[in-house]
Structure 1
Amino acid sequence: MKKKLSYWQKRYLKTKQLQLSKAVAYEKEYAKRLKETQKLIEQEIDSWCKKYAKKDGTIDPIDAKKLLKGSELKDFKYSLAEWERMAKQGGFNHEMDLEYYRSRVSRLQALQLQVTGLMGKQTSGDVKSLEGLLKGSYNDTYYRNIYNSQAVKGKFSSNFAHVDDKKLNAVIHSGWKGSNFSTRLWGNATHTLPKTLSETLFRGIALGYGPDRLTQMARVKLKDFSENQIHRLVTTEAAHIVEQATLDSYKEIGLEKYEYLATLESHTCEVCGKLDGQVMEVSKQETGTNYPPIHPYCRCTTVPWDKWFEENDIKRWSRNNETGKGEFIEDMSYSKWKEDVFDKPKQTEDGIMKVKRTPVDEIKIFMSGIDMKKASHEDLTMLGSLVNNHFDVSGNIGNKDKLKEIFSNFREIGGEVPKDGWAKGSGKEAKRRISEAFSYYPKEWAEYAYINGKGIYTKDTKRGFFSEHGIKGRTWRSGIADNAVSIMLSKGSRTVNYHEIGHYVEYFNPEALRMSKLFLEYRTKDEKEISMSDILYWYGQNERTKKDNFISPYIGRTYKNATEILSMGLESLFEPQDGHVFSQSSREATKVRRKITDDVEYLNFIIGMYLKG
């Protein structure tokens, strides 16, 4: 089983994704420009067809192949001169034998060159915009990778090789597999496309098609050109430039090894599949063999392979790149780093920047040092205390949006259950309530079941509960299924959805369960179990608890593989209502209520659990 990427390696992966998204945006803009040119091409085809069509609307193939004479040839030579001038200005040597066409040209060839001219006018601008895209992608990738390599060590410096225009132009025009992007774009637009259109039109003419059908055939070819040939060119050239920038950054920081990743590929080819996960030496890198792009359309990439990225891993990610994004524990943002490097450097003689840490930075650093596999409950309580004291969480209990804003400083908040993550038979209203709670909880929580191959079954019931089993139908009598879990909600309750998700988290996250049990053991040490009915009269004699001084004796209940610690804490944090009933031994007795703010230690522990669990 392939190991998971570290947080820092994920940062490199996100840089590649960012550049690919820019390429997609370029393609969309190109498609818009091509539509305008397409209208002009269709007008040329329509005009040409009408000029040479017979009475029945069709065109004789022999007539289409006739050579131009007289005024037609004179007009064509003028167009030819225009094209030649434009090609020279664009720095592109067209593959046509222009001298040949000055003496002999057929009617269909003349149309082909008209299309060439129209595409040439567009392409001169396209080349400049694509060059801008590639240069921007190289710069952004290179500097982001340098920044990440500094951030992982916590040492920010301006002492590194900056990108100069001469080097950048050399890289951009070096090309992939021989020819550069400019040659490829000009060749596709002014040779391949016009030639393909000409051949397509002649086939249509031979089949007796009229102007409308011929225009439609041309439209299909233009669409294919945009969606396939241009997509292939832009995707491949962008990948080449991004990977070259990445390689240059590796060499600049002295990286010795990189890991090959096929993560971004939806359909991995056999070659990339064999390379996926392999660790290779930077000094032995060879583009197209052991370094991407391996082939056209290749979206594979690489990430650094170095002890720093293992030792300073600060966050576990879910398996999904797009939904697994977390907050970066950093001393300086990328935008601030760029500003200090390029605009107003503040550095010592050795080039090391002085970074002033904010209180939030200090909390993040403390948080990053907590290893949930080794941590104690005191670590989480201390984390919660730091956050509570700085942001006044106590004063915002029940203010869900404010709590979300506070906690978003440290972790990505607000998850969604995937559409196919709900088990069949789940109630619409119950799903809405569960989704509401997940929108205020850490993003990963909503995906726990899905990542573990299980669905979530939810439905309104008389009394809410969580079960590690799902339901096959609408009732328990219909049987249970191992490929789902159940989060059942009490009808009319505003707290149960926030509560039961706590059990769900403990079930899927063994470290969260371990921490809950540690805290429970600490708080109930030397306590003896008593009947819940001695404190809250409506409970049965067989329901027992170690009451401690919890805000509700229910929190002290013990189970084999679960606790009420996280569930009651989350409920108390987000939907406190009037507080929990602390005691009422009989109907006549006074009902005493308490909120989580009455037990600051418990509150701080829950905050820590929320941020690290």
Structure 2
Amino acid sequence: MKLYNITMRLNRLEMLNQMVRLHIIGTGSKVENELQDHLIKGSIDEYKRQASILGLNINQTGIERRARFIVNQDYHNAHFSDRVWRDTRELSRRIERNIESVVIQGKNPREFARKLRDLVNKDIKNITNATERLAYTESGRVWIQTQIEAYKDGGYEYLEIMTEPTACRHCSPHNGDIVKISEAVEGDNIPLWHPRCRCTTVAAFGEVKDLDYWEHDGEKYYVDDHHVILDYSEHEKEVADLLAIKMNTTVNMVPKVVYPQDISTPDYLIDNKRWDLKDIYGKSKNTIDNAVLSKKKQASNFIFDISKTDLTFDQIDKQVKKLYLSERRKWIDDIKLVQNNRIIKEYYRKK
């Protein structure tokens, strides 16, 4: 009789487990389809929103095709459906363990139902939270990727990070970051940085133009690739893009006058002001002062890129402030500190 009871319990257990598996498979399939539809619609809506802002033409068939492609991309080496079914399998395992525990104990039907209901409700709540987190995170991923595609279609090279006012310690340092779209890596230099991340991006634009001549003492020296050349570096161009975006103005790239030899030119002309870029490498107490030594004819405004110096920020800040106190440096007007393609501090001479 005891053997019969055990056999019946095991048969009952297997039957319940089979019922649970079938029900959960159906639920998982429904969740996957609904989430996919939600993500595709979200991508289409976000592209249309960006198109209205950026003035892009909309091809409904094209954006639907692109939305499906974005949604079905892997994220951190996994497809969103893989994560749905992972959660589904975990729910099935948890419920089966709880069924086994209750059945083997031989509870009466009413107590069995109450005990199982409490355990299953807890499991479902845990998995529901995980599924909601997945839906939120996947939606954010799709929106960010859709934004980037819209920026590319609009011909934009850069984007700017925007964090929410209550951003966490992981996200808040990125607020205002300017990122080259071709170098954007989700989870690295652009959102999302964590589950439920609410950071976003906007297209960043500012005009950078090449001057085809430099005027000195009333005479124009035109670019001829011999006596007057325009050969700025990639780094100088990146800083120009940053300045144009952050200053919301046009940055003019200035050609170098090789001959006559006594004509000094800045790197940039911004709102009729001369600006020169200086990469800071040294670590002495006079590093900043040495960077502007004999540069009075070249520019009165400077950008110091401190990305590669061994000086601390406090040391640099102290040296910059010392420039404004120096009688020999009264010709210096404004200074901007740049680090890793970010303007981290600005200084202005009091008029």
Q: What's the TM-score once normalised by structure 2's chain length?
A: 0.50
Which secondary structure does the structure 2 equivalent of 1:247 belong to? helix
C-alpha distance in 2 between matches for 1:192 and 1:277: 40
C-alpha distance in 1 between matches for 2:86 and 2:45: 28
C-alpha distance in 1 between matches for 2:69 and 2:157: 24
Cross-structure match for 2:96: 198
C-alpha distance in 2 between matches for 1:284 and 1:136: 27
Cross-structure match for 1:459: none
Q: 1:207 to 1:254 in 2, by over 3 A?
A: farther
Cross-structure match for 2:115: 213
Picking from 204, 210, 229, the partner of 1:305 is: 204
Cross-structure match for 2:189: 290
Letter in 1 for 2:117: T
C-alpha distance in 2 between matches for 1:175 and 1:280: 22
CA contact (8 A) 1:235 1:297 kept: yes
CA shift, 1:208, in A, is 7.7
Cross-structure match for 2:154: 253
CA shift, 1:175, in A, is 2.9
Letter in 2 for 1:254: G
C-alpha distance in 2 between matches for 1:299 and 1:235: 9
Q: 1:273 to 1:177 in 2, by over 3 A?
A: same
Write the deviation string for residues 298-332 of structure 1: whole angstroms up to 9, x where unpaired: 222112222388899xxxxxxxxxxxxxxxxxxxx
Write the deviation string for residues 514-559 of structure 1: whole angstroms up to 9, x where unpaired: xxxxxxxxxxxxxxxxxxxxxxxxxxxxxxxxxxxxxxxxxxxxxx
Cross-structure match for 1:232: 133
CA contact (8 A) 2:156 2:205 kept: yes
Picking from 34, 45, 64, the partner of 1:140 is: 45
C-alpha distance in 1 between matches for 2:205 and 2:60: 21
Q: How many pairs does the alignment contain?
A: 205
CA shift, 1:137, in A, is 0.8
Q: Is 1:126 matched with 2:126?
A: no
CA contact (8 A) 2:161 2:174 kept: yes
C-alpha distance in 1 between matches for 2:18 and 2:193: 35
Q: 1:161 to 1:254 in 2, by over 3 A?
A: farther
Q: CA RMSD in A?
A: 3.4
CA shift, 1:130, in A, is 1.8
CA shift, 1:282, in A, is 1.2
Which secondary structure does the structure 1 equivalent of 2:190 belong to? coil
Which secondary structure does the structure 2 equivalent of 1:271 belong to? coil
C-alpha distance in 1 between matches for 2:177 and 2:63: 32
Report percent identity of matched pairs: 22
Which secondary structure does the structure 2 equivalent of 1:175 belong to? coil
Moved over 6 A (4+): 159-162, 206-209, 308-312
**Consecutive unaligned residues in structure 2, runs of 5 or more:** 208-244, 249-351
CA contact (8 A) 2:40 2:67 kept: yes
C-alpha distance in 2 between matches for 1:112 and 1:194: 9
Picking from 170, 173, 190, the partner of 2:72 is: 173
C-alpha distance in 2 between matches for 1:235 and 1:133: 11
C-alpha distance in 1 between matches for 2:36 and 2:131: 14
Letter in 2 for 1:301: T
Q: 1:160 to 1:136 in 2, by over 3 A?
A: closer
Q: 1:219 to 1:293 in 2, by over 3 A?
A: same
CA shift, 1:286, in A, is 0.3
Q: Is 1:242 matched with 2:143?
A: yes
CA shift, 1:162, in A, is 6.9
**Consecutive unaligned residues in structure 1, runs of 5 or more:** 1-51, 55-59, 69-106, 151-156, 313-613
C-alpha distance in 2 between matches for 1:120 and 1:233: 18
CA contact (8 A) 1:109 1:198 kept: no
C-alpha distance in 2 between matches for 1:253 and 1:275: 24
Which secondary structure does the structure 2 equivalent of 1:304 belong to? strand
Q: 1:161 to 1:125 in 2, by over 3 A?
A: closer
CA contact (8 A) 1:161 1:252 kept: no
More helix by share: 1
